[in-house]
């Protein structure tokens, strides 16, 4: 009896212990389930957040792709427009080039024709200019024919220097003829008289004394130059009045400059003034070397610079065995230093 009661108590104790343990187990299980449910809820929320963020990223990526495609299309359209514009500009350039070439060709033809016409006009103007120079300066260029006691005669040319001339020969020489000294000498003899013939045709005879001393002539020592003093009555009034128009050159001609030589070469029966043109070819001491022709009779005349329209030297005929075909012009600046 006691044994049965003992087992019953023992059974009751075991059942109580099992019931209490089950109760604790149940509580712990419920707590753990709540924790798991909370974590699952949190994970679900995180998942939903990630899913939403991923969707947002996909939407942004889609929008970016669409924007990139649109930009690419716009860029392609821009490039196409630029290419079309460039092609249009290139075509315009080609058309303008063709027009320019046509205009240039036409202009070149016109220019060539104009140059030809200008050359002709320049030649005519130059010819007229030289003609004007000869016509201007021949008014004071004179022909000299000198007679000697031996019966011989010499011929030459001279240049009139008046009171208004830029060359000063000194007091008492207001009217004079500048020439070469060899024109006033023949075989070391002096002339008894010289006939001066102006280009107008007027003549005047200059007599020298019987002693052979040329009282009205002066010689430049060391130079082939001399001058004859004249009275005002020996000179045509027109020539006297225009003497101030004729100036000496302030700057001497240079090699290559054009010149005209005026004189009265004795060519047959022709006694009118002659102008020969040439250039300054070089220098020889006190002389300019020139390609202009200087013949017997034109020696002592006037050498005129075309560029400066001025008087710069005395054409001088040198003996044939001393020169070639080039003439000599005595530099007057050396004479009047």
Predicted local distance difference test score (pLDDT) of residue 179 = 92
Q: Domain extents for the chain?
A: 72-114, 136-335
Q: What is the pLDDT of residues 271-313, one digit of tens each?
A: 678 888 999 999 988 899 999 988 888 889 999 999 888 999 9
Q: What is the pLDDT of residues 44-86, one digit of tens each?
A: 887 788 778 878 888 877 877 777 777 778 778 877 887 787 7
Q: How far apart are CA 183 and CA 198, in angstroms?
A: 17
Q: Which of 315, 300, 72 is nearest to 185 (CA)?
A: 300
Contacts of 207 (CB under 8 A, 6+ apart): 192, 193
pTM of the model as a whole: 0.59
131: enclosing H helix or E strand = helix 2-137
Q: How is domain 136-335 classified at the CATH fold level?
A: Thrombin, subunit H (2.40.10)
Angle in degrees, CA 249, 250, 253, rounded to 5:
60
Q: What is the pLDDT of residues 98-120, one digit of tens each?
A: 887 777 777 777 777 777 666 55
Predicted local distance difference test score (pLDDT) of residue 18 = 62
Q: What is the pLDDT of residues 180-217, one digit of tens each?
A: 988 888 777 778 888 999 888 889 998 876 544 446 77
């Amino acid at each position: 009896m006691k044994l049965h009661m003992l087992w019953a108590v023992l059974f009751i104790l075991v059942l109580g212990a099992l019931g209490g343990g089950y109760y604790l187990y149940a509580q712990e299980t419920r707590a753990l389930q709540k924790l798991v449910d909370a974590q699952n809820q949190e994970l679900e929320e995180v998942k939903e957040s990630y899913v939403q963020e991923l969707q947002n990223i996909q939407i942004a990526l889609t929008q970016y792709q669409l924007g990139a495609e649109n930009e690419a299309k716009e860029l392609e359209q821009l490039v196409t427009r630029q290419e079309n514009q460039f092609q249009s500009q290139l075509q315009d350039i080609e058309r303008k080039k063709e027009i320019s070439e046509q205009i240039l060709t036409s202009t070149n033809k016109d220019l060539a024709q104009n140059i030809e016409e200008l050359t002709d006009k320049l030649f005519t103007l130059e010819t007229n200019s030289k003609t004007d120079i000869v016509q201007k300066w021949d008014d004071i260029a004179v022909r000299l024919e000198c007679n000697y006691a031996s019966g011989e005669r010499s011929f030459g040319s001279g240049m009139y220097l008046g009171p208004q001339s830029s060359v000063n020969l000194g007091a008492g020489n207001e009217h004079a003829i500048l020439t070469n000294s060899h024109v006033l000498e023949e075989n070391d003899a002096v002339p008894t008289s010289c006939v001066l013939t102006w280009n107008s045709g007027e003549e005047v005879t200059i007599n020298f004394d019987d002693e052979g001393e040329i009282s009205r002539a002066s010689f430049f020592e060391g130079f082939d130059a001399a001058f004859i003093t004249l009275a005002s009555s020996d000179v045509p009034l027109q020539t006297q009045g225009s003497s101030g128009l004729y100036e000496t050159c302030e700057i001497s001609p240079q090699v290559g400059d054009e010149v005209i030589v005026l004189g009265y070469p004795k060519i047959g029966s022709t006694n009118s003034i002659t102008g020969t043109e040439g250039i300054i070819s070089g220098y020889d001491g006190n002389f300019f070397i020139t390609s202009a022709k200087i013949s017997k009779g034109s020696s002592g005349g006037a050498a005129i610079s075309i560029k400066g329209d001025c008087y710069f030297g005395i054409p001088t005929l040198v003996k044939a065995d001393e020169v070639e075909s080039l003439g000599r012009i005595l530099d007057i600046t050396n004479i009047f230093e």
